[in-house]
Amino acid sequence: MPAPRVRFCPAPSGWLHVGGARTALYNWLHARGNGGAFVFRIEDTDAARATDESMRGMVASLRFLGLDWDEGPEVGGPHGPYRQSERGDLYAAVTAKLLQAGAVYDAYETAEELAAQRAEAERERRPPGYAGGHRGLTDEQREAFRREGRRPVLRVRTPDEGSVTFDDAVRGPVTFEWSSIADFVIERADGTHTYFLANAVDDLAMGINFIARGEDLLSATPRQLLLYTLLLRDGVLDDALADNGYPARPADAVPPAFAHLPLLVGEDRKPLSKRHGSVAVDEFRRQGFLPEVLVNFLALCGWSYDATTERFTVDELVERFSFDRVGRNPALFDTAKLRSLNGDRIKELTDAELAERLQPYLVEAGLLSNPATPADQALLLGFAPLLRERIQTLAEAVPLIAFAFRDEVTYDDRAVAKHLKDRAGEVLDRAAGALADVAWDGDAILATFRALAAELGVGLGKAMQPVRVAVTGTDVSPPLPETLALLDRATVVGRVRSAGARLAQAPDTV
């Protein structure tokens, strides 16, 4: 058996769904664990929906997850091009040969006529698929339709009887009766080609020998198996490749085997969608999930391993993954569990690692330059141990420390109303004086607040919270003494004095 050649071929009409990312991951793990090749192919034959922006997003999401490819965009390879929109000449040559061989036929029905046929089938409780009405058109009938200005689609003639069985690596033997598979379109009336044809041609031409994809595509498999047979019969594909300057198929190429993966579902057991929250890989990146955690989590959405832990490194996943341990039942995408795993992993990062991971989020928020100055890098490194136990995602750190990277304080109205009242002015005045002379470290600053609270006869919180709001603009921050010690003394005292002065002048407008 040759080494696996697998492919991931998303349609670039949006963002990369986590379900698609799991499909890419399983293919990648299978290839990497068995000395194979991972091919990234762009399925952009639907020009009305495909966008370059979406393609760039797909590439970026795969890169974020650490999934590299052996052939495809930005990499190239011996069987390119890897965008289906650039392979139209090959598809046209193949359909011409299939038409000549009698494997496909022109069908001229209008959209309205097809809709009427479906409605009639529904009324008569018949399967809604194409009824084959134009299978046997005469030359005269075709000419008459053309004179009306109709442009045909090309349909594959499916067998009238019998069945097709294939051995699915997840589901075992699967059988479809051909009577349930209607003739299907491979070339649209505008001359563009459908998913069925483009993928069948490219799978064979690129030597893909194993396909893992979502179970929602299970019903498409008989059509692709039929196309594989038609394309290989009498050298149809090989001749089209040679005639159009494409490389020959790999010498050891065989028609692909299949694995259909269970769907990802939310807690309501329905297919995962936006109603369940974030479903795009890039959204999880923006929220600050670590790529290695997301990869680990996605691997476990359908796959299991006999171990006492659910935590695996990428190398461990490559070593242990196999499709015989992928289940058939829908896989729950538990966001709460993902957050918990992410928080656990953040706690294990060193200060330097956490600071490095946080930096892009502060840059994106406009708080750091890119690259950051040495002073800002040092400040961020100082905050790392104060944040580690307080965040479950990297993005959660940004509002906690944004004040430290801004020249001006942005006050939270709720925090001001709650803490800058009553004796807050007196607290700020005394605190400014005390902080101007104290040794500048967390222990000394905490002792100063304790002394201030005792002197004023208030609780420690009453002594600290007005200062926290004055310096940070909010009442939620890392531990205050350690936080103040990271900042420049003049900045801290200046913000405390400024808040006190504004409170004295206009208590409601701090």
pLDDT digits (tens, 9 = 90+) for 230-256: 999 999 999 999 999 999 998 888 899
Which among 261, 291, 317 is the end of a domain? 261
- Does the pLDDT at position 508 exceed 80? no
As a whole number, mean pLDDT of residues 297-319 equals 92
Q: Is the Cα dihedral 310, 313, 314, 317 positive or negative?
A: negative
Q: Is the Cα dihedral 298, 299, 304, 309 positive or negative?
A: negative
pLDDT-above-90 percentage for the chain: 86
Q: What is the number of other CB atoms lying within 10 angstroms of the CB of residue 150?
A: 15
Query: Do 314 and 434 belong to one domain?
Result: no
How many domains, the chain? Answer: 4
> Cα dist. 147→30, 108, 143 in Å?
53, 12, 6
Q: Does residue 344 fall inside a structural domain?
A: no
- Return the structure tokens found at 93: 């040559």
Euclidean distance between CA atoms 272 and 280, whole angstroms:
11
- Does the pLDDT at position 395 exceed 90? yes
For residue 434, give the amino acid letter.
A
Mean pLDDT of the chain, nearest integer: 94
Q: What pLDDT was estimated at residue 50?
A: 80
Query: Do 185 and 139 belong to one domain?
Result: yes
- Does the pLDDT at position 275 exceed 90? no
Q: Does residue 339 fall inside a structural domain?
A: no
Which residue in 97, 270, 274, 418 is the catalytic one?
274
CATH for 392: 1.10.8.70
Euclidean distance between CA atoms 104 and 119, whole angstroms:
25
CATH for 501: 1.10.10.350
Euclidean distance between CA atoms 486 and 498, whole angstroms:
20
421 catalytic residue (yes or no):
no
Q: What pLDDT was estimated at residue 352?
A: 98
What secondary structure letter does DSSP report for 76? Answer: B
* Closest listed residue to residue 185, CA positions, set 148, 238, 233, 132: 132
Q: How confident is the model at residue 507 (pLDDT cuts 50, 70, 90)?
A: low
> Cα dist. 277→281, 336, 342 in Å?
12, 11, 17
- Does the pLDDT at position 509 exceed 70? no
Query: Do 102 and 199 belong to one domain?
Result: yes
Residue 286 CA, chain-centre distance (Å), reads 11
Query: Do 400 and 428 belong to one domain?
Result: no
Euclidean distance between CA atoms 379 and 390, whole angstroms:
17
Euclidean distance between CA atoms 270 and 363, whole angstroms:
37
Residue 129 CA, chain-centre distance (Å), reads 33
CATH for 303: 3.40.50.620
Query: Do 150 and 210 belong to one domain?
Result: yes
Query: Do 130 and 242 belong to one domain?
Result: yes
Which among 206, 227, 261 is the end of a domain? 261
Q: How confident is the model at residue 126 (pLDDT cuts 50, 70, 90)?
A: confident
Q: Are 101 and 91 in contact (CB under 8 A)?
A: no
Domain span at 183: 87-261
Q: Does residue 343 fall inside a structural domain?
A: no
- pTM, 2 dp: 0.92
Q: What pLDDT was estimated at residue 157?
A: 95
What secondary structure letter does DSSP report for 48? Answer: T
Q: How confident is the model at residue 392 (pLDDT cuts 50, 70, 90)?
A: very high
Query: Do 207 and 316 belong to one domain?
Result: no
